[in-house]
Chains A and B, each alone.
Chain A
Amino acid sequence: MIVVEDLHKHFGGFHAVDGASLEIAKGSITGLIGPNGAGKTTLFNVIAGNLPATAGRVLMNGEEITGLTPHELFHKGLLRTFQIAHEFSSMTCRENLMMVPAGQSGETLWNTWFGRKRIADEERALRAKADEVLEFLTIEHLADHKAGQVSGGQKKLLELGRTMMVDAQIVFLDEVGAGVNRTLLNTIGDAIVWLNKERGYTFCMIEHDMDFIGRLCDPVIVMAEGKVLAEGAASEIMQNEAVIEAYLGRGLKNKVKAEADA
């Protein structure tokens, strides 16, 4: 679905992404892990069109998408969330969700004044959909709250909710689970699995919580220092010497080993 070929992103002399190549299979929930500063978010930024690539290519379904703008990628069905949740702070949660599906009649100046009936119908459908999404994420009571004022975890849910407002093909999630309590984390995990199974979303998710990764993701890609270090099933990755060295640390290895022995 997505192929990244020898991608580089340099900030001055610093190589944040340094020749990363990877593939995300259609219908998968691919995990992306790695130490802080490995270049994971930067990789997302380049793929999603927020930053220009220094070198390399990104393909989506065989078609080159390097250098397209975020809104062009949106219309191709490529969506992302941010590590630090973004929201339209002065709008309500419902309005935030209703902003998403672009390309509606109300967006031309002409229709704003002369196509009022059609806009009203669309608005109603959109509102119903937004309410449905809020309910699915168990935050329907926040519908009329200003998005700037809800909690950090709730903003994360709202971020996920935005991707449910349209029929996305692939969604890049940047630490949706970070700073979220266990129950909420399960809600998010369930939502991701449901979207993957029922609506055919492909996911690529950055996450630091290895339990969460192990439960959802297959395969898992490990990045370190801007490069892809390893790729494989979650259980394999946790055994991989190089990965343990770079990311997981000895403590976890012993734990995993103990579990394997038992």
Chain B
Amino acid sequence: MDLLNALVAFLNFVFVPGVAYGSQLALGALGVTLIYGILRFSNFAHGDTMAFGAMATILMTWWLQSLGVSLGPLPTALLALPVGIAATALLVLGTDRLVYRFYREQKAAPVILVIVSMGVMFMMNGLVRFIIGVDDQRFADGARFIITAREFKEMTGLREGLAIKSTAVLTVVVAIIVVIALFWFLNKTRTGKSMRAFSDNEDLALLSGISPERVVAITWIIVAALATIAGVLYGLDKSFKPFTYFQLLLPIFAAAIVGGLGNPLGAIAGGFIVAFSEVTITYAWKKVAGYVLPSWEPDGLVQLLSTDYKFAVSFAILIVVLLFRPTGLFRGKAV
């Protein structure tokens, strides 16, 4: 019984949040990795692209809510998502036309593009705060829980409860659908194959008559979709605040680099590795330990690191990977 309680506590506080957070990071890291593979630079503006996508979706959601539209148990934001994606696609395509293309034509070094993307990041940062403000925004509606802790306890008679938020399940389901669609696209369609070809060997791709501008545009559209979906899922699960998206940049890059920059499969694995490391290291294991080893009464919380320092986890992972395996687990391009 105690072991079951320990398991439930583990699922409730570590596993479920880890899976949801991992899915969000994976989607974010996919966007970063695609840009790196095809445009060959680390896009620091990705976190703020997610914030912009989420913001556009939120504004649309509010409007739909004011009209009384609702999806029943599902959040209205799902309905607003296509609009958010379209707005973000326009923004990044516009940015590419105005900013990145200029440097592409100059054949600027990747380092320069990274710095340029930082400039873009500050612009987007300001844009989002200007439009929606710096505060927390709630836009989640529909059912809050699939199962609450109390219901679970009544059902099973266990002392520990397992609460599953509907947004967590939604996050995972949407992430799975998006990932399947993306891999199908990259591996089976001609456009996807030309993107892979372009990432593999740019010179040869050009010689094969593949238009670079088209590949770049399609990449941005896909990245806008990924960023918006990731941003909205994160916002639904936690809450929307522009600054948190800026902070997400670190774990997202850690995820992309752990998996191997430029490798989509690696980005997904990296997302979960970073998420689970963060959650397990900052979780107070006292309760679980209490069930497993009742005789052992730990004095502290059995918490390796306070949640205030959770970003240190990503940072540590990043450094370890860069020191010992710079190409990442799945052999991406060396950074």
* Chain A contacts to B: CB under 8 angstroms: 48, 50, 69-71, 74-75, 79-80, 82, 86-91, 95, 99-104, 106-109, 112, 119, 123, 162, 166
Contacts and interface: CB of A to CB of B under 8 A. Distances in A.
B212 interface: yes
B200 interface: yes
Contacts of A79: 207
Contact of B207 (A70, A89, A106): A70
A75 B208 CA distance: 9
Contact of B209 (A50, A80, A91, A100): A100
Interface in B88-120: none
Given A95-B193, A99-B194, A112-B189, A71 B209 contact: yes
Contact of A86 (B189, B203, B212, B214): B203
B197 interface: yes
Contacts, number: 82
A75 B189 CA distance: 22
Of the listed residues B185, B190, B200, B201, the one surrounded by the most CB atoms of chain A closer than 10 A to its CB is B190
B218 interface: yes
Interface residues of B, number: 24
A82 B210 contact: no
A163 to B, nearest CB: 10
Closest 4 CB pairs of A and B: A102-B209, A106-B190, A74-B209, A70-B206
B69 interface: no
Interface string B172-204: 000000000000010001111110110011011
Contacts of B303: none
Contacts of B193: 91, 95, 99
A69 to B, nearest CB: 7
A89 B202 CA distance: 12
B148 interface: no
Contacts of A106: 189-191
